[in-house]
Structure 1
Amino acid sequence: MNWRHVYHLGLKELSGLFQETVLVVLIVYSFTLDIYTTAKAQPETLNAAPIAVVDEDRSQASTMIVSAFYPPYFVAPRLIDAAEMDARMDAGLDTFSLVIPAGFQADLLAGKTPDIQLNVDATRMTQAFTGSSYVQQIVTSEVTEFLNHTRTASSSPVEIVIRSRFNPTLDAGWFGSIQSVILSITMLSIILTGAALIREREHGTVEHLLVMPVRPIEIMLAKIWAMAAVVLVGAAVAILVVVQLLLGVPIIGSVWLFLAGTLLMLFASTCMGIFLATMAGSMPQFGLLLMLVLLPLQVLSGGMTPAENMPAAVRFVMQFTPNPHFVSLSQAVLFRGAGLAEVWPQLVAMAVITVALFALALGRFRSFLR
């Protein structure tokens, strides 16, 4: 093998890539703005949820309940009558509508258990799921304070001390930013490599390569190292600048170990990109194949959904792909500060899968050039 051929062909790939404005914009966006917006859009706690109250009792107890809903979790409650409630819910003006019936305070003082109706707009899934428990806690707390003249919680024989490790503030944006980096690495490495090969076929430069004194493995390695280098640089910028500097996410482990794992992942995913490109006749066909492959790889990798929640058959099949091992390595290194002694099984698994994918893609690529 002539490594000078690999080097110069890789430079040719980089030159062709930087002439594609759309792909360059996609790379910059994926490793900057996309990660930032994904982290900021992660649902953390209830925020500014609109709530309306139908207070038919107008008592001290109902007033305490109404006054307990305040920013930042809720907007200031809007007092409405029963006739307005359905219309406002239909128009999407309120996420929650609380109905306090007449005689509410009198029933409480009489030792009865009055009902309070809570209407929830379930189309706003995040607010509906989190906010319903918030409303229940607030109502219970205010009623308890009204009856007992104190907010003291009932005593328990056991005190649970919660220690949230690796993410003390339970900020979902920390996890979301890292997951977005992982998804961008997988997506771009497959897209860029496959697009480079299809672009050569559409421009007719594949025939030029066939008459040159280069071997298929040299052409394939050139595409792999060129596109992997671009994605690797983008991943480093995303971790060091966007995640750490702009989002303020603390990286506990070694960034160099993460990038080493990223390099193995890139080698495997670029091979997948070449394999898919040899099966597609055009860029639209490549896009359709990409949807069939990329979406399962991302959803079933263990990043979006815990692997423990998946069927055993799915977990078994996914072990033969590099994505679950890369997700496990990335979370262990970046969040838990794991070292080489802890993540070497993932590195070995990714290396074995990479060799297999490279052999498969090379065989397909040779048939493609004939």
Structure 2
Amino acid sequence: MYERLKAMLIKEFIQVLRDPRMRFVVFIIPAVQTIIFGYAVNTDVRHVATAVYDLDNSSQSRELADRFLKSGYFELTERVSDEARARELIDRGEVKALLRMNHGFGAGLVGGRGATVQLILDGTDSNTAGIVLNYAMRIVNGYGSQLQLAAVKRAAGRTVPVRGVELASRAWYNENLESRNFFVPAVITNIVFIITMLLSSMAVVREKEIGTIEQVIVTPIGKGEFILGKTVPFVLIGFINVALVSLVAVFWFEVPLRGSLLLLFGSTAVFLMSSLGIGLLISTISRTQQQAMMSAFFVIFPAMLLSGFAFPIESMPEPVQWLTYLNPMRFFLVIIRSIFQKGVGLEILWPQLAALAVIGVVILTLAIARFKKNLS
């Protein structure tokens, strides 16, 4: 058995690694993709292109505009002087925010009547618009609180500071609330799932397409040995990809890795049961490698969308939320992010690992059963 399995493993490694382009795709592309994802997938909003339409031009209106521009979130593109130009900038997409203060803004504040400032946002990207609106509300509220405090001091005739309620906030795990720390570890899930599933989806169908499956059938190799010989090389490739992407995440993007490396690779092994099982199942029902690749892509994109990689599962419709429990990427994403950011252990992550194990066993069983049917 050992010699048969050894021969099968050598054959698969030669098949996968003999092409220099395939070696590049398997070992170099994951690191490149991680770097691209790390810079591209970023929900931190900075330097929002902003136009100021100040009809009042008072010291109060100028001070508020300066607060926006000095906050680091807003970047002045243009100071407009008429309605048509303001609309044109928004329509052309040259600015994402327009700060408008009407006549009487300063007089209203000085007279104690209050004043209204208008922020017009480009709502094409609702997520960015919501974040920008939150920034603007914090700036305006801070300015309003300062004016109220100054008014209280004048009314009391004192120069002693008047203290109010202060919020002392602290974010655990991701102290600076950097989206890169959230997204980069999740790239491990995507890359490992895509590469291992694509490779395994073409493993059996390649034998059928080039006509060697009949030779495999007549050899003394057993069904379990054949499956092991097909999957073990991809397991090792999956581990190498995890190591490469983790190195890029930690040393290039400085994403903290607070958890156990042993748990990281152990959970990867459990996750690979699902990704390789799906690939083998696709391979056994496909007639050509092209058909297998197209079928794999039909699985990859829904799995990524329903994994919680970019969109919170809690915001999805309830029937879709139940559907995500069939997706192994959902559970592995929780594990990866928890290991990197929280540093928690098996006592916290065992439900996700148990779910991954169940899904992996079921999918692998279906794949093996389907392979047996093909042999018959």
TM-score range, shorter chain: 0.7 to 0.9
Gaps of 5+ in 1: none
Q: Distance in 2 between matches of 1:163 and 1:23?
A: 46
Per-residue deviation, 1:226: 0.8
Q: Distance in 1 between matches of 2:10 and 2:296?
A: 26
In structure 1, the residue matched to 2:103 is 102
In structure 2, the residue matched to 1:333 is 339
Q: Deviations over 1:99-144 (max 9, x none)?
A: 2112221222233343322211122444422112222332343355
Confirm or deny: 8 A CA contact 1:5 1:214 kept in the other structure: yes
Q: Deviations over 1:172-210 (max 9, x none)?
A: 111111111011111211111112333333222223323
Q: Distance in 1 between matches of 2:22 and 2:268?
A: 20
In structure 2, the residue matched to 1:155 is 164
Q: Supply the AA of the counterpart residue of 1:155.
A: G
Per-residue deviation, 1:320: 4.9
In structure 1, the residue matched to 2:300 is 294
Q: Distance in 2 between matches of 1:18 and 1:234?
A: 15
Per-residue deviation, 1:7: 2.4
Are residue 256 (structure 1) and residue 257 (structure 2) matched? no
Are residue 81 (structure 1) and residue 88 (structure 2) matched? no
Confirm or deny: 8 A CA contact 1:35 1:177 kept in the other structure: yes
Q: Distance in 1 between matches of 2:312 and 2:62?
A: 44
Q: Once the two structures are aligned, what percentage of the paired residues are identical?
A: 24
Distance verdict in 2 for CA 1:346–1:206, change over 3 Å: same
Q: Supply the AA of the counterpart residue of 2:74.
A: F
Distance verdict in 2 for CA 1:309–1:58, change over 3 Å: closer
Q: Deviations over 1:77-98 (max 9, x none)?
A: 5211123111111221111112
Q: Deviations over 1:41-93 (max 9, x none)?
A: 34354311111111111111111122221363222352111231111112211
Q: Distance in 2 between matches of 1:278 and 1:154?
A: 71
Distance verdict in 2 for CA 1:52–1:288, change over 3 Å: same
Distance verdict in 2 for CA 1:194–1:133, change over 3 Å: same
In structure 2, the residue matched to 1:201 is 208
Q: Supply the AA of the counterpart residue of 1:274.
A: L
Distance verdict in 2 for CA 1:162–1:103, change over 3 Å: closer
In structure 1, the residue matched to 2:357 is 351
Per-residue deviation, 1:344: 3.6
Q: Distance in 2 between matches of 1:58 and 1:201?
A: 77
Counterparts of residues 313-328 of structure 1 (less than 5 Å)? 314-328=320-334
Q: Supply the AA of the counterpart residue of 1:86.
A: R
Which of these residues, 274, 288, 292, is aligned with residue 268 of structure 1? 274
Q: How many residues align?
A: 366
Per-residue deviation, 1:361: 0.7
Q: Distance in 2 between matches of 1:316 and 1:132?
A: 32
Partner secondary structure for residue 112 of structure 1? coil
Q: Supply the AA of the counterpart residue of 2:164.
A: S
Distance verdict in 2 for CA 1:35–1:354, change over 3 Å: same
Confirm or deny: 8 A CA contact 1:70 1:77 kept in the other structure: no
Q: Which moved more, 1:344-353 or 1:90-99?
A: 344-353
Partner secondary structure for residue 31 of structure 1? helix
Q: Supply the AA of the counterpart residue of 1:121.
A: D
In structure 2, the residue matched to 1:361 is 367
Distance verdict in 2 for CA 1:321–1:86, change over 3 Å: closer
In structure 1, the residue matched to 2:66 is 67
Q: Distance in 1 between matches of 2:322 and 2:128?
A: 35
Q: Deviations over 1:240-279 (max 9, x none)?
A: x111111111111111111011112112321210101122
Partner secondary structure for residue 344 of structure 2? coil
In structure 2, the residue matched to 1:223 is 230
Q: Distance in 2 between matches of 1:364 and 1:153?
A: 75
Distance verdict in 2 for CA 1:55–1:308, change over 3 Å: closer
Q: Which moved more, 1:178-187 or 1:147-156?
A: 147-156
Partner secondary structure for residue 70 of structure 2? coil
In structure 1, the residue matched to 2:37 is 38
Distance verdict in 2 for CA 1:119–1:154, change over 3 Å: farther
Q: Which moved more, 1:191-200 or 1:288-297?
A: 288-297
Distance verdict in 2 for CA 1:341–1:63, change over 3 Å: closer
Q: Distance in 1 between matches of 2:292 and 2:33?
A: 23
Distance verdict in 2 for CA 1:180–1:91, change over 3 Å: same
Q: Supply the AA of the counterpart residue of 1:238.
A: V
Per-residue deviation, 1:358: 2.2
Per-residue deviation, 1:319: 4.0
Q: Deviations over 1:322-361 (max 9, x none)?
A: 3333333333333322233333444344334333322211
Q: Supply the AA of the counterpart residue of 2:276.
A: T
Partner secondary structure for residue 255 of structure 2? coil
Partner secondary structure for residue 48 of structure 2? coil
Confirm or deny: 8 A CA contact 2:44 2:179 kept in the other structure: no
In structure 1, the residue matched to 2:291 is 285
Give the alignment's TM-score, normalised by structure 2: 0.86
Distance verdict in 2 for CA 1:306–1:128, change over 3 Å: closer
Per-residue deviation, 1:149: 4.3
Gaps of 5+ in 2: 154-160
Q: Supply the AA of the counterpart residue of 2:298.
A: L
Q: Supply the AA of the counterpart residue of 2:59.
A: Q
Confirm or deny: 8 A CA contact 1:224 1:267 kept in the other structure: no
In structure 1, the residue matched to 2:157 is none
